[in-house]
Amino acid sequence: MKKCNSCNKLKNESEYYAYKRLDKYGNPYFHPSCKICVKNDRKEDYNKERKNKLRRNRYHNNESVRRKRLNENYKRLKCLVGDFTQEEWGTTLHLFNNKCAYCSKDLKNKSTVDHFLPVSKGGVNTIDNLVPACKSCNCKKHNKDPFQFIKLDAIKVNPYLLVFICKNFPVLFSLALHHFL
């Protein structure tokens, strides 16, 4: 008799999957969960994958769903406090040498606006909180704390990012130095 880790019921060893590997006494190792629980877990995983696939297909194949999501994003961005001009954004791009603030990749007119301190975590939509980022870094950063996202590999980080932090977030400057040095 063996206790299943998933359902906590005592069951016969025949109700468990046996591994091919044997212990030092020649007895087989058994899966920690019974066959029924393993099958249920596999079904749940399959259903999650299937739901995600259906959701992705629904977004890509249905114009109204795409439009609805874009409209929600537009409304969310419209409610942001603060704004900036194209001239200010151009100056910021120039200060970062038209390179991504996080990986120093050359942007070649494909920059995205990234909120250094995420709006969802109290950041504002002013030029003092915006940095240029490649689409890849902007998607990876999502709404993470900037210091969580910045790798300890300071060689990749745009050198102007430290100046940007010092100028716009003096309180965070000592924390930034700790991450870069």
Q: Is residue 136 part of a domain?
A: yes
What is the rounded distance in angstroms from the CA atom of residue 18 to the CA atom of residue 25? 15
**Mean pLDDT taken over the chain:** 80
The CATH number given to whatever domain includes residue 134 is: 1.10.30
Residue corresponding to tokens 């900036």: 84
**3 state DSSP class of 58:** helix
Q: Which residues, other chains included, contact 82 with Cβ-Cβ below 8 Å and sequence gap of 6+? A: 124, 125, 126
Same domain (yes/no): 59, 111: no
Which percentage of the chain shows pLDDT scores above 90? 2
**3 state DSSP class of 32:** strand
Domain count, the chain: 2
Q: Going by DSSP bridges, is the β-strand pair 112-115/130-133 parallel, antiparallel, or unpaired?
A: antiparallel
**3 state DSSP class of 91:** helix
Same domain (yes/no): 22, 62: yes
Which one of 56, 76, 96 terminates a domain? 76
14-28 pLDDT, tens digit each = 888 888 788 888 888
**Per-residue pLDDT at 177:** 60
CB 84 within 8 A of CB 125: yes
153-171 pLDDT, tens digit each = 445 677 777 778 777 776 6
Of residues 90 and 180, more confidence is placed in: 90
Q: Is residue 122 part of a domain?
A: yes
